Structure 1
Amino acid sequence: MKTIKLLRWVSVLVFCHAGVLITSATGFRLPDQDAFAAARGEAFVATADNPSAVYYNPAGITQLEGHNVRVGVYGLYIKPSYTSPDGRSFKSDRDLHAIPQLFYTFSPSDFPLSFGLGLYSPYGLSSRWPQDTGFRTVSTEGTLTYYTINPAVAWQATSRFSIAAGLTLNYAECDLRQGLVWPTQPLDEFKFKGDGVDAGYNLGLLYKVHDKVFLGATFRSPTTVDLDGRTEYFNAREIPGLIPAFPKQRVSAEAEFPFPLSAVFGISYRPTPNWNLEFDAEYTDWSRLNTVIVKQAAAFPPLIPQNVPLVLNWEPSWYYEFGATHYLNDKWSISLGYIYNENSVPDATYSPLVADLDRHFFSVGAGFKHGQLKIDLAYQFGYGPTRKVTGSAPSPTGQSVDGEFEFVSHAVMLSVGLRF
């Protein structure tokens, strides 16, 4: 009887770590949706003067004439690293990512409404750690793909003031894995895979205070995705008296997973027609990620219970973004940017799949315009000073993610726009 109670306690801890994996696999946010904005450190909410405004601030599409289309790709190399308390070092295996975007806008002449459509990925990323890190029963691998279709309508109420609203239709697919009970060899595995859809909205406001000062704000609603799929688990080696060996089990499962609201406020100062300086502050309410319930069609007694609460306890965080653009002439522009991003995950529920920590991003870019064609290219470097994690919740086998995490990333982004 004592053994059964112990196994039930063990299984709760296993699934609690699985829940941390789900949240960490969402990455989380991918704020880089346009090369011009990325070159400016994402300080774009009070500028919003190309079709990617559908994402950054849909009120900005009233500044565009006729039909506009803009396509882009964000190429990201990300390399978090981990140093264990005994001095061993590891790096994540999965480091290259490519995220596409597509935006379209239409502003009829002599009409106060403008229309836009965006297809992009506001969340995502994936990570895979080696099997011998010392935390494989906490997490090993996780992937989330998240796609949004975002139609929007903007109203130019006056020559200085525009507002907008959009609908976000979202699809998410999650695949996460971890060791189940055996800490030293990959002879067991837990896997959750599910997908789902949800809907939300975004709002935007753009106000021209005077010719040199613009104010912008945007809001993205919270949403909840019903992930519908299955769990799979097996154990190839028995732990006598504690964990039996068993072949792969497959059980249908679901989980309601919340995504946060975000709000951005920005001011753009344009001392001359050749300069645009902007500062934005962006708030993300990660505290919605509190407790998630994984519901399975059946239990696998005594090891796997049917329903388990997953305690996440994330905290709200801020992005602080500064950007500057200098227009050299009618064809060329150059931009610089900086972002400071606060971490949002406490030590107690830390997961290495994203290695959340305070981050700094530096960016530079150039733009070229010829007739109706506009091309922007940006480079972004990111790093996170060492974060020492202590007191993280242990897995059933006693493993934890205590140790030191660091973060380095390089990204190149290309966007091409055409007006017709």
Structure 2
Amino acid sequence: MKRKECKCLTSQRNTQANCTRMVRKSIGVLTLLGLSFAAGGTAYGAGFSVFTQGAGPMGVANASVAHAEGLASIFYNPALQLEFEGINSEAGLTVLGPEKEVDSSVTGQSYSTEDHIYTPVHGAVSYRFSENGSLALTINNSFGLGSEYPEDTPFRYLATNSELTTWDINPSIAYRFLERLVVSAGLRGVSADTTLEKMIPLQSYGLADGRQKFEADGTGYGWNIGATLALNDKWSVGASYRSEVEIDLSGDVRFDLPAGTPAPLAAVFPSTSADAKFTLPAQFFAGVAFRPTSRWVVEAAARFEEYSSYDNLRVEVVQPIAGQTIMVIPKNWSNVWGYLFGASYLTDSGYRLSAGYLYEENPVPDETFEPGTSGLDKHTLTAGVGGEFRDIGWRISYAYDIYEDRDIENSGADATMNGTHSQKNQSLAISFAYHF
């Protein structure tokens, strides 16, 4: 390809200024600084929420807000910790193998994510210090994403690799009032670590694509509350709320430009320190549980996620990139609901069998749909089994996600995402519990 002759490459005066203007015109600042926290193809939940928090809750499709399916259920409602006597612990992980595919209407070809296995973990301990009081601590990967596409897709200038890992540490206290009412409150400290990669289009200068990589970490703080009310021996209700958490990320943006890039053009892409702000959404859970017999428990629940708080992503760099140091990237995500139904049964031999179904809306509008985005409505079928081996309790659960295909028909730069987007995922969770 013949190199484009322009002032950016030939002028001896104001070469960097000329390059800056040319790059902003031909590539666009949104493309250059278009770092995106796309909800990954890991299929954790709506947006970038992670709802694989224990094999017990997974077995009933997370319908574990008004009753406990093991200590891991206190992620969904911290008031449930009072159901456990003495000192208790639980830990485990979930193995995910998601796949995303785009049937592109731009090229007429199909593109799939690279094969990856993800293993979000969970842990909890509780101490019931009296008949009416309990303390607990949970550690969870409460939000996360992960998707990687080949570097030859038509949307490679939006994203090629998106990774986000969070650690959510949540101490809480629960207390029983009026015999049947339990109220709980806690504090949350959330750390985040992210890597975002994409390509930079330089063909108009006779060059191969460049690469951009953003790596950063940061922390944020929030709180949560929960309550359960036993209406009688058969019926109970529960509700909880997890506040939004604003994360301040600090890191750097690095560029890898092809050999032969002229110095004036390379100067437009300096590797530099960078900061970003984004908000993890508030979440509300509510459920009603029914125990027709001592062996059966059935629950219907709902969860609400306030993803409207993710209205933009603000990125600030120390050295100007294409003449810009601050970029506010619109996201305009929407609030979403999930509907959860589950049941579990205790057999004569002491095994607990469970099954569930959930439906989950997606928060991503067409106009800000991104390559890594799990922006598809989802149905999930779950099943689980649990028991005890000596003093150790165990639970194993399986989930099969059924996604609704989505057609994207945008215009302008966002048209590179146009086509039919599909996704599939299977999850296997295992948890172990010990009572001291």
- Tell me if both proteins adopt one fold, taking TM over 0.5 as the criterion: yes
1:39 corresponds, among 40, 59, 65, to 59
- CA distance in 2 between partners of 1:4 and 1:34 (Å): 51
> Where do residues 38-187 of structure 1 align in structure 2 (5 Å cutoff)?
38-48=58-68, 50-85=70-105, 86-110=107-131, 112-182=132-202, 187=209
- CA distance in 1 between partners of 2:349 and 2:230 (Å): 23
Q: Which amino acid aligns with 1:270?
A: R
Shift of 1:247: 9.6
Q: Which residue of 2 aligns with 1:335?
A: 354
- CA distance in 1 between partners of 2:198 and 2:428 (Å): 31
- Indicate conservation of the 8 Å contact 1:264/1:281, yes or no: yes
1:231 matched to 2:246? The reply is no
Of the two, which has the highest radius of gyration? 2
- Indicate conservation of the 8 Å contact 2:203/2:209, yes or no: no
1:216 matched to 2:238? The reply is yes
Gaps of 5+ in 1: none
Shift of 1:8: 2.8
User: Any idea what SS the aligned residue of 1:299 has?
Assistant: strand
1:383 corresponds, among 399, 402, 415, to 402
Q: Which amino acid aligns with 1:87?
A: G
Q: Which residue of 2 aligns with 1:346?
A: 365
- CA distance in 2 between partners of 1:150 and 1:163 (Å): 16
Change (3 A) 1:304 1:38: farther
> Where do residues 255-334 of structure 1 align in structure 2 (5 Å cutoff)?
255-300=276-321, 303-329=322-348, 331-334=350-353
- CA distance in 2 between partners of 1:138 and 1:317 (Å): 25
What CA deviation, in whole Å up to 9, does each residue of 1:370-397 have, x standing for no partner? Answer: 56432110011112121101116516xx
Q: Which amino acid aligns with 1:212?
A: K
Change (3 A) 1:274 1:149: same
Q: Which residue of 1 aligns with 2:220?
A: 198
Change (3 A) 1:323 1:186: farther
- CA distance in 2 between partners of 1:181 and 1:409 (Å): 32
- How many residue pairs align between the two structures? 410
- Percent pairwise identity: 27
- Indicate conservation of the 8 Å contact 2:20/2:323, yes or no: no
- CA distance in 1 between partners of 2:246 and 2:266 (Å): 36
User: Any idea what SS the aligned residue of 2:367 has?
Assistant: helix
Q: Which moved more, 1:38-47 or 1:327-336?
A: 327-336
Shift of 1:239: 9.2
- CA distance in 2 between partners of 1:49 and 1:95 (Å): 29
- CA distance in 2 between partners of 1:83 and 1:75 (Å): 27
Shift of 1:64: 0.8
Shift of 1:16: 5.7
- CA distance in 1 between partners of 2:214 and 2:250 (Å): 10
Shift of 1:3: 7.6
- CA distance in 1 between partners of 2:69 and 2:48 (Å): 26
What CA deviation, in whole Å up to 9, does each residue of 1:157-208 have, x standing for no partner? Answer: 1321101011111110111000111479964011111110111111111010
1:24 corresponds, among 36, 39, 42, to 39
1:7 matched to 2:11? The reply is no
- CA distance in 1 between partners of 2:398 and 2:312 (Å): 37
- Indicate conservation of the 8 Å contact 1:94/1:126, yes or no: no
Q: Which amino acid aligns with 1:404?
A: T
What is the alpha-carbon root mean square deviation over aligned residues? 2.3
Q: Which moved more, 1:410-419 or 1:80-89?
A: 80-89
- CA distance in 2 between partners of 1:154 and 1:387 (Å): 43
